[in-house]
């Protein structure tokens, strides 16, 4: 070999050595980056695997297709749908004007890749009939706190927010459907087999910082269900009160997806999540059965529930009808040309005439019972049950009414009822009870052309028997009916049993015993109010006021103050609200609960003078509003707030009327206060007038 040839070979060998050294460094960097990616994905995977207890399955490291080497980090399939997840461990991610950056570099390719993969998954599930809205892309940045935002249709989160966000989607899919989706996706996107790439690539990923700089948890740490549940609860409490009101505890998922024909019931003490389960059940049924009627007795609860639902499951809002039952009945009758003329003033005049004609000076007047008590007897006991014959009333067990009646008393009450009805008809008007009875007769004679797929009634204990019969008629004889309520929170007189309405929920009644709303101190104070009382349950029998309910969290704050006048009490309450605001608490999470509308007006005036933003509960629609909510206890039913002010004196003091009427009224008074107190999640201020 000539010297020139030798020199040339040496130079070529040095070039090859230099290229190999460069390639070696590149491959070392690639190995480091992929080790970091593996540890990052393992951490996220361990969090998601703990969700298996709640019906979720995670598919990790899947190929785009059987021939592709490109991989999908994670596919999460469960009750809340399908989530395609891309896990990142970037040092400096940023989103500016809807564009993702990695440091200074535009990361559009990463966004496009995730969207493309999501479309592949969506297309694969289209033949299964899954709506595209149920497949969601998520980009998870490990170690980057506070990244919860949207990038187009991509949800951008950190690893701690991923599980709470996925769980908050609620149970949309049945367990058998989830299993079918898992099987289909596992087949369509097979596991990555780990074959090494040929050593020809010179593309080196952007260097990343070591995992220890980003994650407080060890990469191989495992997350158990209890720890993940606590994290979900803590995350939910940090959100707005509206988001909190739709939070479903993982243990309640099975109730949402409960199957089987026949009327069902969910009951349990205040704060156990009955309304939340009902809302998520509505979302589940809207996907599988729709349309759904979601109703209650409380007039203002329906718009709030609609507002909460639209935030929780906007894709199916058109499948839900939120309306209180009396309004529904009025609409039905109007649509069929049979709407009665409701006149509360003439109805009261008719009752006054009936009392003056038959009650005043009779044996009823000698019982020491306020005369309005007998109007409640007509409204709730007789008309509320649709009783039309004295024989039925004479033998009736008057659930919820403690004042004992002899035959002579019942005969006088019946004569008052007959006089009342005659006067109403002569005046050409009806009362609110007539709305439900007329609507019931109408749907029995002419059923709805488009039946409801399901009917859900919240706060059912405040409806009357005719109302529940109407609900049963609208739900195929009760086959698609869910009743939600608690007898201890009944604040209207009288009562009835489901048996009287022709319904049985035997074997289909769930009792919730864990309080997720009230901190322990608040719950303890509220329970003391009703501990010595009794209440009638819809399923028959009487229950004691002290119930086996377990608080989910300790703490809470309860403040009690006494005043010498109503005006002083109002001033103390407003000063407490001012102090809460000064401590950094938002007015959006506060509520003042009153007994009467006149008290509501007085508080609205006082808060305005104090420069505190306030709105009436009657105007609240479930959308976040940076104002103190002010309303009656009746309007607050089914709702909750971070901080509650109860500023009202007891209605009844000992010494008025018979012992039976005293006990009945005091127990109802206590239940009203109990309902008000248990609207409070974090703090309760309770004032009274000495």
Report the CATH number that the domain containing residue 246 is assigned in CATH.
3.40.50.300
Domain-terminating residue out of 515, 544, 573 = 544
Listed in sequence order, the residues at least 6 apart from 4 whose beta carbon sits closer than 8 Å to its beta carbon are none
Q: pLDDT grade, residue 315 (50/70/90)?
A: confident
pLDDT of the residue at 20: 62
Largest CA distance in the chain: 139
pLDDT at residue 655 tops 60 = no
Q: pLDDT grade, residue 482 (50/70/90)?
A: very high
Kindly give the interhelix angle for 301-312 and 274-288, rounded to the nearest 10 degrees: 60
Q: pLDDT grade, residue 1 (50/70/90)?
A: low
Q: Looking at the structure, tell me whether residues 253 and 330 fall in a common domain.
A: yes
Q: Among 513, 433, 506, which residue's Cα sits nearest to residue 467?
A: 433
In a domain, 67, yes or no: yes
Q: Among 322, 323, 326, which residue's Cα sits nearest to residue 313?
A: 322
Q: Looking at the structure, tell me whether residues 438 and 425 fall in a common domain.
A: no
The total domain count for the chain is 4
pLDDT, tens digit (0-9, with 9 covering 90-100), for 176-214: 888 999 999 999 898 876 554 443 333 334 433 333 323
Stretch among 94-98, 256-260, 368-372, 529-533 having the lowest mean pLDDT:
256-260
pLDDT, tens digit (0-9, with 9 covering 90-100), for 257-281: 777 788 999 999 999 999 999 999 9
Mean pLDDT of 637-663: 74
pLDDT of the residue at 379: 95
Q: Looking at the structure, tell me whether residues 475 and 522 fall in a common domain.
A: yes
* Structural domain span for residue 373: 344-429
In a domain, 206, yes or no: no
Q: Looking at the structure, tell me whether residues 163 and 96 fall in a common domain.
A: yes
Q: Hey, what are 215's tokens? A: 């994650």
Q: Looking at the structure, tell me whether residues 232 and 113 fall in a common domain.
A: yes
Reading phi first (left if > 0) and then psi (alpha if -120 to 50, else beta), residue 584 is in left
In a domain, 21, yes or no: no
pLDDT at residue 302 tops 80 = yes
Q: Hey, what are 22's tokens? A: 């460069």
Q: pLDDT grade, residue 27 (50/70/90)?
A: low
Mean pLDDT, the chain, rounded, equals 86
Q: Hey, what are 472's tokens? A: 């049963």
Q: Looking at the structure, tell me whether residues 249 and 231 fall in a common domain.
A: no
Q: Looking at the structure, tell me whether residues 305 and 442 fall in a common domain.
A: yes
Q: Looking at the structure, tell me whether residues 252 and 295 fall in a common domain.
A: yes
Global pTM value = 0.80
Domain-terminating residue out of 367, 398, 429 = 429
Q: Looking at the structure, tell me whether residues 424 and 439 fall in a common domain.
A: no
pLDDT above 70 coverage of the chain, percent:
88
Q: Hey, what are 182's tokens? A: 């898992």
pLDDT of the residue at 201: 39
The Cα 503–Cα 494 span in angstroms is 19
The Cα 174–Cα 228 span in angstroms is 22
């Amino acid at each position: 070999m000539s010297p020139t040839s030798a020199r040339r070979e040496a130079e070529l060998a040095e070039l090859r050595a230099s290229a190999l050294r460069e390639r070696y460094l590149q491959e070392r960097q690639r190995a480091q980056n992929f080790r970091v990616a593996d540890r990052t994905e393992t951490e996220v995977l361990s969090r998601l695997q703990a969700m298996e207890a709640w019906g979720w399955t995670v598919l990790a490291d899947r190929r785009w297709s059987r021939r592709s080497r490109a991989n999908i980090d994670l596919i999460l399939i469960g009750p809340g749908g399908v989530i395609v997840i891309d896990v990142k461990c970037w040092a400096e991610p940023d989103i500016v004007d809807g564009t993702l950056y990695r440091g200074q570099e535009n990361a559009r390719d990463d966004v496009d890749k995730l969207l493309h993969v999501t479309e592949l998954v969506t297309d694969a599930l289209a033949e299964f009939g899954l709506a595209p809205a149920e497949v969601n892309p998520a980009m998870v940045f490990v170690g980057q706190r506070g990244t919860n935002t949207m990038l187009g249709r991509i949800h951008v989160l950190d690893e701690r927010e991923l599980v709470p966000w996925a769980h908050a989607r609620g149970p949309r899919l049945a367990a058998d459907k989830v299993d079918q989706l898992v099987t289909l996706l596992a087949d369509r996107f097979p596991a990555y087999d780990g074959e090494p790439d040929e050593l020809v690539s010179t593309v080196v990923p952007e260097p990343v910082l070591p995992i220890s700089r980003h994650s407080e948890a060890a990469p191989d740490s495992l997350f158990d269900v209890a720890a993940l549940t606590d994290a979900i609860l803590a995350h939910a409490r940090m959100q707005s009160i509206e988001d909190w009101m739709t939070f479903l505890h993982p243990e309640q998922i099975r109730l949402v997806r409960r199957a089987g024909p026949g009327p069902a019931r969910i009951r349990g003490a205040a704060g156990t999540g009955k309304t939340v389960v009902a809302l998520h059940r509505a979302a589940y049924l809207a996907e599988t059965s729709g349309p759904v009627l979601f109703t209650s007795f409380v007039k203002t609860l329906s718009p709030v529930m609609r507002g909460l639902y639209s935030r929780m499951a906007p894709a199916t809002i058109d499948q839900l009808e939120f309306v209180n039952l009396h309004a529904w009945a009025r609409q039905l009758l109007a649509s069929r040309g049979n709407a009665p003329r409701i006149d509360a003033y003439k109805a009261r005049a008719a009752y006054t005439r009936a009392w003056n004609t038959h009650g005043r000076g009779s044996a009823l007047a000698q019982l020491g019972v306020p005369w309005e008590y007998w109007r409640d007897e007509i409204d709730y006991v007789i008309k509320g049950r649709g009783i039309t014959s004295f024989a039925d009333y004479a033998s009736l067990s008057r659930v919820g009414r403690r004042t004992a009646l002899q035959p002579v008393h019942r005969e006088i009450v019946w004569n008052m009822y007959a006089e009342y009805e005659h006067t109403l008809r002569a005046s050409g008007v009806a009362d609110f009870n007539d709305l439900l009875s007329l609507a019931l007769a109408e749907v029995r004679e002419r059923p709805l052309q488009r039946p409801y797929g399901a009917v859900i009634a919240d706060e059912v204990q405040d409806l009357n028997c005719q109302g529940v019969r109407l609900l049963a008629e609208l739900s195929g004889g009760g086959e698609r009916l869910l009743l939600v309520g608690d007898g201890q929170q009944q604040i209207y007189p009288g009562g009835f049993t489901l048996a009287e309405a022709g319904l049985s929920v035997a074997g289909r009644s769930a009792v919730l015993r864990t309080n997720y709303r009230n901190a322990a101190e608040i719950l303890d104070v509220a329970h003391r109010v009703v501990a010595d009382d009794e209440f009638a349950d819809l399923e028959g029998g009487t229950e004691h006021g002290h119930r086996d309910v377990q608080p989910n969290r300790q703490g809470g704050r309860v403040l009690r103050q006494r005043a010498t006048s109503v005006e002083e009490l109002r001033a103390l309450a407003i000063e407490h609200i001012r102090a809460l605001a000064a401590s950094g608490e938002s007015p959006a999470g506060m509520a003042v609960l009153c007994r009467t509308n006149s008290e509501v007006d007085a508080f609205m005036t006082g808060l305005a003078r104090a420069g505190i933003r306030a709105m009436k509960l009657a105007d609240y629609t479930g959308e976040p509003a940076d104002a103190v909510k002010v309303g009656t206890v009746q309007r607050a039913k089914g709702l909750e707030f971070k901080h509650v002010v109860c500023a009202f004196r007891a209605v009844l003091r000992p010494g008025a009327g018979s012992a039976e009427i005293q006990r009945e009224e005091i127990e109802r008074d206590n239940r009203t206060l109990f309902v008000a107190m248990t609207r409070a999640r974090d703090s309760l201020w309770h004032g009274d007038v000495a």
